[in-house]
Structure formats: structure tokens, C-alpha cells
């Protein structure tokens, strides 16, 4: 079990709310919908109210520091079902790229590939004590775009499996372009930290506020956001569990 999953959750009950498209850069179609993920007819772009407020604060600061720039949101709230879809999709992609067939693999070989997949995807758990970060509505995957809508170079793709995903991969840059990648990643990190977010130690694009990973990284005694699910087609949600220890 990853160490942050041992952090207790004291669910605060905040609702999921839509992310205003006019304030940010949103991808259309959503990257996972484009692959076939089913969001049940709902918008994939939503966050807990407090998390959205903090993200809006970061966007306001960005507009001061870099006029015309926007935070581009790749992913936000992610139902556990979509988490499972992406784990399966990534697993099958790895098999295809390596020319492997699942039915010809041993149990140990399958488990080894799954462990690789789980370096970039949280386990799709329904256990209220161990929710995937995105299923809490408090984690967001982002990058930046300039005033023309051009993506700022970060030296790697979101959801990329491999060493380049580590935030400090370009710390000891060997070229001006690599130094720029590190500078851009550091700027994004500073922007988000000033708004209260904390960055995933292994993913330059993943930031959260109030979930178990955030609490563990900042030595907080508990998280305030647990896993949530939709009650209906609206954005009304119900916590999967009120308090998990």
C-alpha cells in the first residue's frame, strides 16, 4: 500500500461543481472520453468547491505574471469506473507496444506489467479508506498555454510512463531547451503551491488539495476529501464514506 493511503479521511461534504470553461483552457473532447471512457453523459470537468476556488486563485495569479496565459485542464474529477478504464487501456497499450499477448503471459509477468501501470495510475479502489486521488474531486492534471493557445513546453506528455514524468527530471539540464523545461515545470509548481496545492512527487502535471496525498506530503493529520460518486445526472454527489480510518 502506498504510504499516503494510510492517512485518515474526515470528509467535509463539499459538492462537486463544474469548472467554468471561460476561465480555463479545457480540452474538447476530453482525452479519456476520446479513448472511450464513459462519464455517463456528464461533463468530465468538475472539482470540489474549495479546490476550484484555489484553482481560480492560481489562474488569477497566472494572468498577472503571464498576461493571456491560462491553466489548461487535462483531467479533474475522475470516477473510479473511468480510473479502471484507463488502467485497462494503459495495460493493453503496453502489451501492444511490446508485441505481447495476455493469454501467453504468466501470472508473474502480468503482475509485473500492472506494477508498471500503477506507477502512473492509482489502483481503482472502491474502498472508502483508499480512494484514487482523482475520485475525490480534489486532484487535477494540468499544464499551461500561452495567449495564442499554444502549450508551454514541459519536456514530456501528461500520463507518460517513464522517468521524464518526474518533476525534477530536467534539474541537471544539459542544454538550454532542457533548462527551459525545468524552468516551466518549476513555474507551474510555484503557481499552484501559492494557491495551496501540492504536486505529485512522480508527475509534473498532477496537483491536489485536501486529499490523502496532499495531507501525507504536507504532514497533515487527515484529509478532508474522500471518494465521491454522482447521485444522478446532476452534480449533486454523495461521499462514499463519511469518515475513514
User: Which residues are catalytic, by number?
Assistant: 203
H helices present in the chain, as ranges: 31-35, 49-65, 80-97, 107-117, 176-194, 212-217
CB atoms within 10 A of CB 98: 8
Do the beta carbons of residue 225 and residue 14 sit within 8 Å?
yes
Residue 206 assigned ligand-binding role: yes
Rg, the chain, Cα only: 18
Secondary structure (3-state) at 47: strand
Q: Does 141 carry a binding-site annotation?
A: yes
Intra-chain end-to-end CA distance of the chain, in Å: 15
243 forms bridges with which residues in the sheet? 10
> Residue with C-alpha cell 483531467?
75
Residue 235, C-beta contacts closer than 8 angstroms, at least 6 positions apart: 15, 16, 17, 18, 42, 46
Could you give the 3-state DSSP secondary structure of residue 72? strand
Residue with cell 505529485: 200
Strands 228-230 and 237-239: antiparallel
Helix (H) or strand (E) holding 46: strand 46-48
Q: What is the rounded CA–CA span in Å between residue 84 and residue 2?
A: 18
Amino acid at each position: 500500500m502506498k504510504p499516503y493511503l494510510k492517512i485518515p479521511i474526515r470528509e467535509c461534504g463539499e459538492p462537486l461543481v463544474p469548472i467554468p470553461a471561460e476561465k480555463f483552457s479545457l480540452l474538447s473532447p476530453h482525452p479519456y472520453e476520446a479513448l472511450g471512457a464513459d462519464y455517463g453523459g456528464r461533463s468530465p470537468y468538475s472539482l470540489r468547491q474549495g479546490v476550484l476556488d484555489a484553482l481560480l486563485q492560481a489562474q488569477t495569479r497566472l494572468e498577472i505574471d503571464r498576461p493571456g496565459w491560462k491553466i489548461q485542464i487535462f483531467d479533474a474529477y475522475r470516477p473510479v469506473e473511468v480510473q479502471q478504464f484507463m488502467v485497462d487501456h494503459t495495460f493493453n497499450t503496453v502489451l501492444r507496444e511490446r508485441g505481447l499477448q495476455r493469454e501467453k503471459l504468466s501470472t508473474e509477468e502480468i503482475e509485473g506489467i500492472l506494477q508498471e501501470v500503477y506507477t502512473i495510475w492509482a489502483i481503482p479502489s472502491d474502498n472508502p479508506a483508499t480512494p484514487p486521488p482523482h475520485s475525490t474531486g480534489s486532484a487535477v492534471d494540468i499544464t499551461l498555454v500561452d495567449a495564442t493557445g499554444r502549450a508551454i513546453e514541459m519536456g514530456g506528455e501528461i500520463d507518460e510512463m517513464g522517468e521524464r514524468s518526474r518533476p525534477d527530471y530536467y534539474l541537471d539540464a544539459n542544454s538550454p531547451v532542457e533548462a527551459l523545461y525545468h524552468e516551466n515545470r518549476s513555474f507551474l509548481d510555484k503557481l499552484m503551491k501559492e494557491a495551496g496545492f501540492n504536486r505529485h512527487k512522480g508527475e509534473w502535471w498532477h496537483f491536489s488539495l485536501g486529499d490523502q496525498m496532499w495531507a501525507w506530503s504536507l504532514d497533515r493529520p487527515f484529509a478532508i476529501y474522500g471518494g465521491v460518486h454522482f447521485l444522478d445526472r446532476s452534480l449533486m454527489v454523495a461521499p462514499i464514506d463519511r469518515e475513514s480510518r
